[in-house]
Structure 1
Amino acid sequence: MIREYFKYKTTITTILADKKEHIETAKNAMINARQEIERTILKDPIFGSSLEPYETDSDSEIIRKMTNAGNLAGTGPMASVAGTIAWEGVSAMKNKGAKFAVIDNGGDIALISDRTVKIGLYAGNSPLSKKMAFLIPPAKEITGICTSSATVGPSISFGIADSVTVFSNNVSLADAWATSICNQIKMPFNDELFNSLENSDIIGVFAVIGKDMIRWGEIPKIAAANVDENLITSG
């Protein structure tokens, strides 16, 4: 397995693959996606700054993915930017024949795999952080595992959760919903915020607040782990 750190402007990723050519394919696809998003923001700055659902007349598939995800999750389109870029990278790898491809874009992960993949949980100062991992089973279709936090990193959040991880085959949607749910989790906790996920493309949600865990839907098996902080993708 090849592991490569890749940074392009503020897109900071870790790419896993079995072949070097697939790594290069992923890089090119992510650069292209990032440039497409930048061109859209130059023409329509509100696309890049809105914190609420936003409509655009762009015919770009990437931009439509982000816009649709934000509209469904109640966020701005940029809430799904990291997941969308990772998704584009893994999609390109898959199209080149990759059976194993993982891109971690700052905690927003897209993957396909012919083996079980262990995804460690990082939840800031929570006592549960770095102590457990999701066991993602082999899958031919791309899976999104996207995490947002109100206590870690530079992203804007209006909630209190140390981490919210969302699972979906629509990686853009997983990213947007991770942001949305993280914004909404406050105390006392009200599980009605999950009502809008019924009959959606979201498979499951796992949230951590301090020592407490919140689950919704189907969550992959969780195993005890000692997560190596050096493997966490960051700037």
Structure 2
Amino acid sequence: MIKCHFEWKETIVTILADSDFFVEIARKEIAACRFILENYISKNPFFKTTLETYGKDPSAPPLIQRMIEAANTFGIGPMSTVAGTIAESAVLKMKEAGAVIAVVDNGGDIALYNAGEKPLVIGIYAGKSDFKNLGFSIEPAPDILGICTSSGTVGHSISFGISDAAIIFSKNVALSDAAATALGNALTTTGAENIKKALFVIQVPGIDGAVLVEGKDIGFWGKIPEIVKAHIDYDLITKGKNVKTVNF
């Protein structure tokens, strides 16, 4: 298994793959996605800044349309989906090229393809919460899985909530990214009952399951992978210089 840290402008990722060949495919796709995104924003600057629903644009590249559709599901801005959408695009290219294992962690928004023989364990990093050294055991499957995380206490991404980790599982990684943001925004007050209420926000078609962590409380919805003990090494967290992000 090859592990590679890769930075392209503001995009900072960790790539896991069978070989350097697939890592290079992921790098090229990430750069291509950045080019598409930057070109669109140069002509449509509101796309980058809005925190609310962005109108459908049938003339936009498919990457942009996926971002808009996912974000509009939750009434939030399309840039809330950028990390998951880019990660998904890279893993899809790796899968199409024949990779057996392909993972791109874009600052806690993870696209994962596991066609191997063993589960992959993705750790839970929830800052200073009570939940430590736990992970999700991801069984081999034919589809790409999105595991996306938002946090109001960890990392630099915008969140209007107080969650330590709002984690979403979906086969649509862009949708998973948008849902994680929406779930994180929904929790503004501590307590188990408020976690339960917040989880209603993401119960839409396409979302398989969710985990919401805040302090000593944790809530679950839908179908989630088995939770197992795991050693969470901070040095494995995807981050650039002076940047903290949530990941495995």
Offset, 1:197: 3.9
For residue 51 of structure 1, what is the aligned residue in structure 2? 51
CA contact (8 A) 2:212 2:218 kept: yes
For residue 133 of structure 1, what is the aligned residue in structure 2? 135
- CA separation in 1, counterparts of 2:160 and 2:22? 38
- CA separation in 1, counterparts of 2:202 and 2:158? 22
Superposition TM-score, scaled by structure 1 size: 0.96
Q: Which moved more, 1:164-173 or 1:222-231?
A: 222-231
CA contact (8 A) 1:99 1:140 kept: no
For residue 243 of structure 2, what is the aligned residue in structure 1? none
CA contact (8 A) 2:150 2:184 kept: yes
Offset, 1:51: 0.4
Offset, 1:193: 4.0
Report the CA distance shift for 1:196/1:209 in structure 2 as closer, same or farther (over 3 A): closer
- CA separation in 2, counterparts of 1:223 and 1:43? 46
The total of aligned residue pairs comes to 234
Superposition TM-score, scaled by structure 2 size: 0.91
Q: CA-atom RMSD, angstroms?
A: 1.3
Q: Which moved more, 1:185-194 or 1:91-100?
A: 185-194
Pairing 1:74–2:79 present:
no
CA contact (8 A) 2:182 2:202 kept: no
Q: What amino acid sits opposite 1:22 in the alignment? A: F
Report the CA distance shift for 1:143/1:156 in structure 2 as closer, same or farther (over 3 A): same
Report % sequence identity. Answer: 46
Q: What amino acid sits opposite 1:11 in the alignment? A: T
Pairing 1:227–2:228 present:
no
Q: Secondary structure at the match of 2:70?
A: helix
Report the CA distance shift for 1:77/1:207 in structure 2 as closer, same or farther (over 3 A): same
Q: Which runs of 5+ in 2 are unaligned?
A: 241-248
- CA separation in 1, counterparts of 2:188 and 2:41? 32
Offset, 1:159: 0.7
CA contact (8 A) 1:73 1:173 kept: no
For residue 206 of structure 1, what is the aligned residue in structure 2? 211
Q: What amino acid sits opposite 1:120 in the alignment? A: G
Runs of 4+ in 1 over 6 A off after TM superposition: none
Give CA-to-partner distance per residue, 1:27-69, whole Å, 9 cap, x none: 0011101111111111001100110110142331100110001
For residue 25 of structure 2, what is the aligned residue in structure 1? 25
